[in-house]
Amino acid sequence: MARSSVQLAGVAKQFGSTIVIRDVTLDIAPGEFVVFVGPSGCGKSTLLRLVAGLEQPSAGTIHISGRDVTDVHPSKRGVAMVFQSYALYPHMSVAENMAFGLRMLGTSRAQVETRVRAAAETLQLDSLLDRKPRALSGGQRQRVAIGRAIVREPDVFLFDEPLSNLDAALRAQVRVEIARLHARLGATMIYVTHDQVDAMTLASRIVVLNGGRVEQIGAPMDLYRRPANRFVAGFLGSPRMNFLPARVASAGDQSLEVEVAGERVRVERQLAARAGDVVTLGVRPEDLSLAQPDDSAVPNGVLRGEVSLLERLGGEAIVHVALRGTQNETLVAKLPGDVSLSPRQPVGLRLNGSACHLFDQAGQAIA
Amino acid sequence: MIYGNRTSALLYLSPYLIGLAVFTLFPFVASLLLSFSDYRLQDSLNAAQLVGFENYAAIIHDRTFGKSLAVTLIYVFVTVPLKLAFALFIAFVLNFRLRGINAFRTAYYLPSILGGSVAIAVVWRYVFAGDGLINQALDLLGAGPVNWLGEPAYAMVSIVLLRLWQFGSAMVIFLAGLQGIPADLYEAARLDGASHWQVFRRITVPLLTPVIFFNFIMQVIQAFQEFNGPYVITGGGPLKSTYLLPLMIYEEAFKYFEVGYASALSWVLFVLVAVFTALAFRSSQHWVFYAQERGEPNK
C-alpha cells in the first residue's frame, strides 16, 4: 500500500460568518499515524473533511503525496474514510459495500472479488460477506467500514471518531485492531477523536486543536510531559492536571519556590520565571503522593487539606482533597488502590517537584 | 367505575363511530346487498327483487363497461408512473438547500390542495377549451389550435395532465423520504467516486423504495377512483374516451337510476383495486428495501 505525505498550508474554513478552522499548517510524513484531538466544536472533524475533500477550504492549500489536491474531487485524492456512523449502504451486503467504490472506479470484476476477499480475511469478515449491515453487530459494522476503506488501497486513511459508537470493551479491542492495521499496512492515517486515550495510544503524533487552531503538535508523551499551554496540559491526562493559583517566591538556577495554598513548594526545574511572578501551578494527579499532615520532616511541597471525595477504581484510588487555606481549591490525586483514607480525614499531599508545570497569566507554559 | 369510564370513552368516540357507521359501514353493506338486486332509484326499497348474480353477469356483457374498464386501466397505468416520477423529480429538486426553498415547497404543494376540487376542474376546462389558454399559447408559437376536449386522444391527455398537476402530496412524502436518507451515505458515495446519476440510482432510489411503494399504492387507489376531472372537464367523452369507471358508476346510479347495477359496478371496481394492491404488496418483497427489521426502532 502506498505511503503518502499530507501537507496543509494556511488552511482556513469558514461557514458563513463562523470561522471553524484558522490558518492550520501541518506536515504529515508518509506512514505516520496522526491523531486530531480536541473538545467538541474544535474543528477536528472539519479539518479531516477538508483533507477528504468533503469540504472546500476558504483559504490555503492541501497536498497529498506532493500533489495539490485542494480542488480535486474526493474520489480522486487517494483517500478513504471511515465515518463515525460507519455510513454503510444499508441495502447492500457486506461484500457489495466493500466493492462499491471499486465498481465505481471501473475495476474488473475479478479484481474486485480478490480485493474484497483479501480485506475480508484481514478483518475476519469472511463469514459475513452476504449479510446486510442491519444483521451485524456494532463491532462488525465498524470492521466492514474499515474493510471498505482497505479495498480501495488508499494512500491515506481518514478515520472520523470511528470508535465513538462502540461500548467500552469493544472500543479497546477495535483500537488494538486499528493499531495492528497501521503496523501492517504502514499507510498514512489521520484519525479524529475527542478521546485522549485513543490519541495517546494510537498516535505517532498528536495534533491538539482548540477553537479551530492548532494548540500543539507532537509525540504523545512529549505533549503529556511538556504541554505548551494550560489547554493542552488540561486536555491530555485523566483525571486532568490540577491547576492552582501560585506566586513565584524565589527563583534559582536549577529550581524555584512557589507559594501555593499558603505553603512553599519547590519546583525542581529550570524555568524562566522571576520572583514575584503570578503564575498557575500545574501538577498531574499521579505526581501527588500521600504525606502525613504533620510530616515536618519534609517541609518542601506538602499541601494540607481534607478528603472530600474518594473514588476507588480497584488498582488505584482517585482522591479529591479540599485544600486548607484556600477558597474551594481542590486537588485530585491518583493514589494506590488500597490507600487507607476516608472522607473528611485530614491529609497531606506531597508534590513531585520535578514534574510540576508553571503557566503564565496568558496560559502559556513557562519553559 | 369501570362502566362509567367505558361510557365516557364511547361518548368521546361517538362522533367518529357514528360517522363510520352512517357514511362507511352502512353504504358498504347496503351496496353489497343492492348489487344483488334490481333496485332502481325511483322505486321503493320494498319493490326491489333479489336477482342473484344477474347484475354481475350483465357487466361482463356490457360493451360500455369494457370500454370504461380499458379507459380506466390506461388512465391508471399512465398517470401513476408519470405522477410518481414527476413528484420524485420535483421533490429531488426541492431537497436542495437553497435560499427560499420553503416558499417553493409551499408553492408546489398548492395545486394538490386545490387540484381535487371541482372549481379547479372547471378552470381546467377553460384552459383546454377551443379558445382556452393552451390554444392561445400554441397560437403564439405558431401552432394550430388543438381540439383538446373534442378529440378522444387529447381529451385523455387533458385529464391526465390535471392529475399530474396534483403531484404535491406524493412530492411531500418523497421529500420527507429523501430527507430521511443520512447525508453521510452520500458523502461515502462521493468518496467512492459515484457520479450524481449513480448516487441517485444506487443509493437514493433503493433507500427510497418504501416511500415509492407507499406512494404507488396510494396513487393506484386514488387513480382508480378519479371522478371530478372527467366529470367536469369532458363529461366522459368524446366517444367515452374518458369514461372512467367511477363516472360510469355515477351515471348508472344517478342518471339511469340503475342503483343495483351501479352497486355491482362499485364492487367490481373495489375488487379491481384490491387485486392491484395485493399484487403490488406481493411484488414488494422483491424490490422494496426496509433499512430496519419490523418492530426495530429507528436509530
Q: Is A106 left (phi over 0), alpha (psi -120 to 50) or beta?
A: left
* pLDDT reported for residue A79: 93
Q: Which domain holds residue A141?
A: 6-235
* pLDDT reported for residue B80: 95
Rounded to the nearest angstrom, the gap between the alpha carbon of residue B271 and the centroid of all alpha carbons in its chain is 16
Q: Per the CB < 8 Å rule, is A87 touching B184?
A: yes
For residues A231 and A359, give the distance between their C-alpha atoms in angstroms, rounded to a whole number.
10
C-alpha dihedral sign at B223, B113, B27, B13: positive
CA atoms within 13 A on the CB side of B231: 17
Residue A22: inside a domain:
yes
Q: Do A111 and A205 have their domain in common?
A: yes
The DSSP result for A95-134, as a single string, is HHHHHHHHHHTT--HHHHHHHHHHHHHHTT-GGGTTS-GG
Task: State the cell numbers at A190.
Answer: 489521520
Q: Do A102 and A200 have their domain in common?
A: yes
* Domain end call among A235, A265, A288: A235
Strands A263-267 and A59-64: unpaired
User: How many angstroms away from the CA of A87 is the closest CA of chain B?
Assistant: 5
* pLDDT reported for residue A206: 96
* pLDDT reported for residue B124: 80
Q: Do A23 and A90 have their domain in common?
A: yes
Q: Per the CB < 8 Å rule, is A101 touching B192?
A: yes
* pLDDT reported for residue B16: 94
Expressed in percent and rounded to 5, the helix, strand and coil fractions of chain A are: 25, 35, 40
For residues A364 and A228, give the distance between their C-alpha atoms in angstroms, rounded to a whole number.
6
Residue A254: inside a domain:
no
For residues B17 and B24, give the distance between their C-alpha atoms in angstroms, rounded to a whole number.
10
Chain A: residue nearest B186 by CA? A87
Digit-coded pLDDT (tens) for A172-222: 888 898 999 899 888 999 999 988 889 999 999 999 999 999 999 999 999
* pLDDT reported for residue B204: 93
Contact A185, A155 (CB under 8 A): no
Residue A268: inside a domain:
no
Q: How confident is the model at residue B3 (pLDDT cuts 50, 70, 90)?
A: low
* pLDDT reported for residue B299: 40
B187, containing H or E segment? helix B183-191
* pLDDT reported for residue B296: 47
Q: How confident is the model at residue A235 (pLDDT cuts 50, 70, 90)?
A: very high
Q: Per the CB < 8 Å rule, is B292 touching A80?
A: no
Q: Do A206 and A284 have their domain in common?
A: no
Digit-coded pLDDT (tens) for A289-345: 988 666 555 556 688 889 999 999 999 999 999 998 778 889 999 999 888 888 889
Question: pTM of the prediction?
Answer: 0.81
Residue from the list B190, B198, B202 with its beta carbon closest to the beta carbon of A74 = B190
pLDDT over threshold 60, residue B13: yes
Cell 461500548 sits on residue: A167
Q: Per the CB < 8 Å rule, is B191 touching A85?
A: no
Instruction: Report whether the peptide linkage leading into residue B238 is cis, meaning its omega lies within 30 degrees of zero.
Output: yes
* pLDDT reported for residue A299: 55
Residue A196: inside a domain:
yes
* pLDDT reported for residue B239: 84
Backbone angles phi, psi at A322, to 5 degrees: -80, 120
A91 touches chain B (CB under 8 A): yes
* pLDDT reported for residue B49: 84
Residue from the list A76, A84, A104 with its beta carbon closest to the beta carbon of B194 = A104
* pLDDT reported for residue B294: 47
* pLDDT reported for residue A252: 83
Beta-carbon contacts of residue A243 (< 8 Å; ≥ 6 apart)? A230, A233, A234, A280, A281, A282, A359
Digit-coded pLDDT (tens) for A135-171: 998 889 988 999 999 998 899 999 999 888 888 888 8
For residues A92 and B291, give the distance between their C-alpha atoms in angstroms, rounded to a whole number.
10
Residue A253: inside a domain:
no
Q: Taking chain A, what is the end-to-end CA distance rounded to the nearest angstrom?
A: 41
For residues B36 and B55, give the distance between their C-alpha atoms in angstroms, rounded to a whole number.
7
For residues B253 and B39, give the distance between their C-alpha atoms in angstroms, rounded to a whole number.
10
Averaged pLDDT for residues B41-51: 81
What angle is formed at CA A16 by the lines to CA A10 and CA A21, rounded to 5 degrees? 30
Residue type, B188: A
Q: Per the CB < 8 Å rule, is B289 touching A91?
A: yes
Q: Per the CB < 8 Å rule, is A104 touching B192?
A: yes
Q: Do A18 and A163 have their domain in common?
A: yes
* pLDDT reported for residue A309: 93
For residues A8 and A223, give the distance between their C-alpha atoms in angstroms, rounded to a whole number.
21
Chain B: residue nearest A106 by CA? B193
CATH of the domain at A147: 3.40.50.300
Q: What percent of chain B has pLDDT over 70?
A: 94
* pLDDT reported for residue B119: 77
Least confident of A256-265, B156-165, B231-240: B231-240
For residues A49 and A98, give the distance between their C-alpha atoms in angstroms, rounded to a whole number.
21
Chain A: residue nearest B289 by CA? A91
Digit-coded pLDDT (tens) for B173-186: 999 999 999 999 99
Residue A365: inside a domain:
no
User: How many angstroms away from the CA of A81 is the closest CA of chain B?
Assistant: 8
For residues A155 and A149, give the distance between their C-alpha atoms in angstroms, rounded to a whole number.
10
* pLDDT reported for residue B2: 57
* pLDDT reported for residue A300: 61
Q: How confident is the model at residue A362 (pLDDT cuts 50, 70, 90)?
A: very high
Q: Do A31 and A102 have their domain in common?
A: yes
Residue A1: inside a domain:
no
Contact A193, A236 (CB under 8 A): no
Higher pLDDT pick, A294 / B216: B216
CB atoms within 10 A of CB B21: 11
CATH of the domain at A353: 2.40.50.100
Counting the structural domains of chain A, the total is 2
Residue from the list A76, A85, A100 with its beta carbon closest to the beta carbon of B184 = A85
Digit-coded pLDDT (tens) for A39-50: 998 999 999 999
Task: Say which CATH architecture domain B63-287 belongs to.
Answer: Orthogonal Bundle (1.10)
Q: Do A286 and A225 have their domain in common?
A: no
pLDDT over threshold 90, residue B220: yes
Q: Do A139 and A207 have their domain in common?
A: yes
Q: How confident is the model at residue B231 (pLDDT cuts 50, 70, 90)?
A: confident
